[in-house]
Amino acid sequence: MEYDCRKEIERLRKEIEDLKERFGRMERISSKEPLKKPHIMRNEQSNPESNRIMDSLLEISEKENRTGSVTCMGVFRSSGRQSQWITESRNTDDLLALIEIKLASAVLQCIGNSDRLNLLLTLLRTPMTVASLVEKCGFNTTGQAYHHLKPLIAADLVYEVEQGERGVYAVRPHRVQGIIMLLAGIADLTDPRYSRGNWISDEREDK
């Protein structure tokens, strides 16, 4: 059966709007038992500044009775552009709830395709026209490139650059952080120092 790209984009758009509404009503995951006081597990190789941030996260988690807290910061430079970010004290209860409201699975489903990920990688490195994406990413036609580009545009990950040449696409600057941090999480999940799990199943189909 022929894939209906427009119908899929519309479905994704409606699903994202529904998830946004549900996300606004999201309640924190509550534990039946009171949380135990967090205890400090120091890494002797960490610098004093990292230990100070860890102490702050532990203090916030205890004070607000959270399961935990995370913070992240980073910088990414590519093709004359720079993105930098600092996210302070994000509640892990809220992060876990993203699974409950199915927002996590919707995001992973949208980008969890090797062609779309390759397209994102290419646009992270430099803005490109669709014709250039066809050549760089190994697509057969411009139609195939648009097929994978449109869901990323609908999700507001990619946009058409308004200045200069029309038809040039790039990753939204405020989305770079999320993509890089998602890759950082994947690096942790696949780090052979902690796990030797098999992430590639012979029975799984890459859709």
Which string of b and e fits 90-103 if b means at least 16 CB within 10 Å?
ebbbeeebbeebeb
Which amino acid would we find at residue 54? M
Torsion over CA of 60, 64, 65 and 71, rounded to 10 degrees? -40
- Which of 40-44, 156-160, 183-187 is the least confident region? 40-44
CB 207: neighbour CB atoms within 10 A?
7
- Which of 154-158, 173-177, 201-205 shows the lowest mean pLDDT across its residues? 201-205
- Select, from the ranges 4-13, 80-89, 158-167, the one with the highest average predicted confidence (pLDDT): 80-89
Phi, psi of 86 (to 5 degrees): -140, 115
Q: Is residue 122 within 8 Å of residue 139, measured between CB atoms?
A: no
Predicted TM-score (pTM) of this structure: 0.71
- Of the pLDDT bands very low, low, confident and very high (cuts 50, 70, 90), residue 200 is confident
Q: How far is the C-alpha of 40 from the C-alpha of 49, rounded, in Å?
A: 15
pLDDT of res. 155: 93
pLDDT of amino acid 52: 87
Mean pLDDT confidence for 145-172: 87
Per-residue pLDDT at 28: 43
Say how many C-beta atoms besides its own lie within 10 A of residue 73's C-beta: 11
Which residues make Cβ contacts (< 8 Å) with residue 81, sequence separation at least 6?
173
| Residue range 92-117, pLDDT digits in tens | 999 999 999 999 999 999 998 999 99
pLDDT at 144 over 70: yes
Indicate the angle between helix axes 142-154 and 130-137, nearest 10 degrees. Answer: 110
